[in-house]
Amino acid sequence: MRNMILKRFSTYDLIVIAVMAAIGIAIKPVISSATHIVSASLMIPGGSLAGGLYMMWLVLAFAITGKYGSATLAGFIQAIIVILTGMPGSHGVMSLFSYIAPGLAVDILMLLLAVFGRRDFDRLAAFLAGIAANVTGTLAVNVIFFRLPPLFLALTILVSAVSGGIGGLIAWELFRVMKKYRLAGR
């Protein structure tokens, strides 16, 4: 089964996915620490504000490979890394849910866009994918830990959508530069 899933990806794809997952995990503690100053004053979880900047790597994993499942696989790799290392941001075994869900949201959104005739990865797709990833991540962490009251949850989702959209646009710009220099797989 595992071999059938991974068979769809080339070695290049798997390396890109692993690198995007690792970069997302590596920058998460730095970005989260910096944004906690602002998020604490708003009384919202820091990940909802900072998430766009580390969820963008899931979006970029899909953009570079152009293959469904890339963002989910990147999220799975992130979950395994944080579980095995005990890094900040680990939710124990629940990390499988909180890290895979955003990647799955990106892949499902990109599949839905393709079904409705929008096959190209463009600025709008990147923007929506960033929103999908960060809102899903925010909701997953809320289910696991926070259980915020409805008003604060709505504010948190709004902040995470804005942050995710910005992260998606940054991913789009990085993808454009990579394509220009022929670093992207497609």
CB 130 within 8 A of CB 166: yes
Which parts of the chain register pLDDT below 50?
A: none
15-25 per-position pLDDT tens digit = 999 999 999 99
Domain 2-180 has CATH 1.10.357: no
**Interatomic CA distance for residues 28 and 162, integer angstroms:** 18
146-160 per-position pLDDT tens digit = 788 888 889 889 999
Question: pTM for the complete prediction?
Answer: 0.91
Domains of the chain: which residue ranges? 2-180
